[in-house]
Each structure stands twice: as structure tokens, then as C-alpha cells.
Amino acid sequence: MNDIDYNTALKELLFKMADDQYIYGHRTSEWIGIGPIIEEDIAFGSIAQDKVGHSLNIYQMLHQLGEADAEKLVFTRNENEYKCCHLVELPIGEYDFAIMRHFMFEHAEYIRFEMLTESSYHPLANLAKKYKGEIKYHIFHANTWLKLLAEGNEESKGRMQSALNQVYPMAMGIFEESPYEEILRSEHIFKGEAALKSVWMERTEEFLQSVGLQIPNNKDFSEAMGGRKGYHTEYFGPLLKEIKEVFVTEDPSASW
């Protein structure tokens, strides 16, 4: 074990976390203006701002570890350099999908940062303590809506079960393991994806069952995997093009 291994493992973890947050924030912001009720435009607007803000802090941490600055990392990397999971890349879809993805992703985020409060990398541990307090409200929002819709009328119950069937396998991509799990664990940087997944399954299953939804039997998680290695869904290319549209095409030398 040396510093190079420690930093490589740490950076791999930070990149996927920041990319997840940035891309999820990007997608979530697309609800501003078209939500089912005005209050939801506002709620998703706040959540999107938190996510993009969180990602900025982590990109800045990466910059301190020798990577390019946050702007360059977001606006100039290629598709295969992004390490977000497939779940966050998918288009916004309908509100059933949006709430289910929100529920799955936010619970994973919360548990991840809960674990990271004990990280041996202190800057990350400090950030995790701060994030936890904010993500708590995202969870509150996701749980409230999931319960309302899963226990609403026949249509909404059916829709939420279908959304669960669709999102559940995709959510497994969050926990795709990195080549550095062993170092992360032994150096006490992070308890690892497997540990995260097991807590996540316990918590989400309990909640989903309490609102009358059934976890699907689907064991084929192949389409959810690859994001952490830089392989993405067909939706990611156009998304990235959109992010870069002004920054790159109008005048790459300019500051905006």
C-alpha cells in the first residue's frame, strides 16, 4: 500500500460520486416548469441545486488532488471519462419513474454519506456530515411522494409498481464495484459498494413493502452495469452534448 494506490482508489470513488450527483442534478432540473403541481417544480428545483452544489464540492476536492478544475472536468471530459451510473442518465420520463428513481438514488446517497462520515480521508468525512443533513430532506420528499402515490388510487398504485419493476434493476448499477474496493476498505476510506448495497436493500425493501409494493424478481442487472467503467446508455451522449453546447461550440477560449 502506498500513497499512489490510496489516491487512485480515493479519486475513483470521488469521480463516480460527483458524476452521479451532477448528472442527477441535471436531469432533476428538467422538471422545473413542468411538474404535476407547482410545488413539485419548486421541490425538484431545490434538489437539483443541492446535487449540482454537492458535485461542485467533490470536483473541487478532486482538483486539490491534482485533477483539472471543476469547470474543465464537467465541460471538457469525454463520454468514457464520466463514471456516473446508468440510472441517473435516463431521461426524466413520467412522474412515477421520476419519484421511483429519486427514492432509489437518494437512499443510496444518504447511506453512502452516512458511511463516509467515518472516512479516513477527513475532507470527505467533513463534507459527508454536511451532505447528510441536506439529503435527509430529499429522502423525506421521496418517501412522502412514494407513499402518497403507492397508496393513492388504482392507477397510481399500478404506475408505481411498474416504475419499481423498471427502476429496481437499473438501481443495481449504483453499486457496481470498482477495482479498488479492497483498498477503500483496508484504508478506511469507504466501507465499499457491497456494504452500501446491503444496507440500501434492507431500508428500501422495508419501505417499499410498507406501502404495498412488491420487489421484482428480475435478476438480470446487465443493462445497469458499465457506468463506473465509462460505458453509458444511448441517452448519455446527447445529454453530454447539451451540457457542452455553449461552453464548447460557441467559443472554447471564452469565459462565461
Partner 1 sequence: MYGGGFVDEKERQKDPVVQDDPIKLAAFEARIAAGEKVEPGDWMPADYRRQLIRMIEQHAHSEIIGALPEGTWITRAPSFKRKMAIMAKVQDEIGHAQMLYSACETLGKSREQMLNDLLSGKSKYSNVFNYPAITWADVTVIGFLIDAAAIVNQVLNSKGSYGPYCRALERICYEEAFHLKQGQDAFAALALGTPTQKALVQEALNRWWKPIIHFFGPSDKMSVHSEKLMRWKVKMASNDDMRNQFLSTYVPKIQELGLSIPDPNLCYHEESNSWTFSDPDWDEFFRVINGDGPCNKERLAVRWWAEEHGRWVRNAIINPNERYVVPLA
Task: Note whether 199 binds partner 1 by CB under 8 A.
Answer: no
95 binds partner 1 (CB under 8 A): yes
Query: What does the alpha-carbon distance between residue 71 and residue 247 come to, in Å, rounded to a whole number?
Result: 10
d(CA 170, CA 176): 11
For partner 1, the binding residue among 81, 129, 130, 152 (CB under 8 A) is 152
Question: By CB under 8 A, is residue 255 in contact with partner 1?
Answer: yes
68 binds partner 1 (CB under 8 A): no
Name which of 127 and 189 has its Cβ closer to partner 1: 127
Nearer to partner 1, 95 or 200 (CB): 95
Under the binding rule (CB under 8 A), the answer on residue 38 touching partner 1 is yes
Residue type present at position 196: L
Angle at 57 between CA 51 and CA 62, to 5 degrees: 125
Position among 13, 18, 56, 61 found at the interface with partner 1 (CB under 8 A): 56
Identify which of residues 96 and 109 has a Cβ nearer to partner 1 in the complex.
Answer: 96
Answer yes or no: are the C-beta atoms of 55 and 25 closer than 8 Å: yes
CB of 189 to partner 1, least distance (A): 26
| Interaction of residue 41 with partner 1, rule CB under 8 A | yes
Is residue 237 within the footprint of partner 1 (CB under 8 A)?
Answer: no
Amino acid type, 69: D
Q: How far is the CB of 169 from partner 1 (least distance, A)?
A: 24
- Please tell me the distance from the alpha carbon of residue 51 to that of residue 253, in angstroms, as a whole number: 28
Asked if 67 interacts with partner 1 (CB under 8 A), we say no
CB of 217 to partner 1, least distance (A): 26
Q: Does 81 bind partner 1 (CB under 8 A)?
A: no
Q: Where are the alpha helices (DSSP H) in the chain?
A: 3-29, 38-64, 70-76, 86-89, 95-116, 122-150, 154-171, 181-186, 193-210, 236-244
Q: How far is the CB of 86 from partner 1 (least distance, A)?
A: 19
Rounded to whole angstroms, how far apart are CA atoms 32 and 135? 19
Instruction: Decide: 24 and 92 in contact? Cβ < 8 Å.
Output: no
How many residues belong to the chain?
256
Sign of CA dihedral 77, 81, 83, 89: positive
At its nearest, how many Å lie between partner 1 and the CB of residue 150?
A: 9
**Angle, nearest 10°, between helix axes 95-116 and 38-64?**
40
Number of H helices, E strands in the chain: 10, 0
By CB under 8 A, is residue 162 in contact with partner 1? no
Binding site for partner 1 (CB under 8 A): 26, 29-30, 32-39, 41-42, 45-46, 48-49, 52-53, 56, 70-71, 74-75, 94-95, 148-149, 152-153, 155-156, 159, 239, 242-243, 245-247, 250-251, 253-256
